[in-house]
Amino acid sequence: MGRRGATGLAGIIAVDKPAGLTSHGVVARIRQLTEEGRVGHAGTLDPMATGVLVVLVGPYTRLEKFLSGHDKGYSATITFGTETDTDDAEGHVVRAAAVPAETFDPEAATCVLRGFVGASEQQPPVYSAIKLGGKTSHKVARAGGALDLAPRKVVVHVATLRGVDPTARTWDVDFLVSKGTYIRALARDIGRSVGSAAHLSALRRTSCGAISIETAVTLDQVAHHADNGTITDVFYDATAALGFPIIDATAEERLAVTAGRAIALPQPSADAAYFSVRANGSLRAVYRRDGERLRPDTVLGGAT
């Protein structure tokens, strides 16, 4: 008898998360629709945010460590004049400040954003999922306390101004950032950098690595395919999502993968640290480079 909740499904679903739903809520809905017990995600989105949430189904939950590390793209709206305790529109205002008129000059705004591009240390929001000493920061904050969160090294690859609205006192900005970067914290720090205050008032994740919002599906679409027995039609190509060089395993290599043994590094040798190993067109494992050999890192199983 198979393990409870194991359906044989293995896939990645790029969900276009709606506003007001937690990432955990999306995972719970996918679990219900697929009847698969092993469902997770590769990078939390705040409840108010929309956009790409990468959901992992079945043994592909083991790919989270690779996918969560990818750069992520966002379209954000920053509202000036107030800071909140959560650094976004869902929090309580904790500070108000006048907004210099030049803040809404596009050239001046672009110059400010340019100063945020590159590597830096970011102070995370107190309302975050970061854990310290076994305690979660947002839970401590809601109880009236605070954790001493250390600054985190982050990289802003791109910060492009899409528009300013002096009446609404907003900027619309596209960001491409490294893992662990809080757009809420960027909004807060941008407000301070112009001698004012600011918070994040809207956020949409537009990409996660190679996965873009154009390829994402809604929960209603997932439900439709689940009802029609075509759930695999919404699965995203796992090898494309990972972005590693692909090895189409020979019969001998398929046996080695199934047994969890090393295989030869492809010739000519590549500089990549990890490789996706496919069999019969499906991802079977992720191998890591070890000298001139490849050794199994994550074996996903499947028929040889």
Q: Is 46 a catalytic residue?
A: yes
What's the CA gap between 260 and 48, in Å, rounded? 42
Using alpha carbons, select from 263, 266, 285, 289 the residue that is nearest to residue 276. Answer: 285
What's the CA gap between 230 and 252, in Å, rounded? 32
Beta bridge partners of 274: 288
* Contacts (Cβ under 8 Å, ≥6 apart) of 3: 37
Structure tokens at 241: 């999502």
Coil, strand or helix at 103: helix
Please check whether residue 169 is in contact with residue 79, taking contact to mean a CB–CB distance below 8 angstroms.
Answer: yes
Q: From the centroid of its chain, how far is CA 219? A: 18
Residue type, 58: G
What's the CA gap between 164 and 64, in Å, rounded? 36
Active-site choice (16, 46, 87, 88): 46
**Residues carrying an active site annotation:** 46
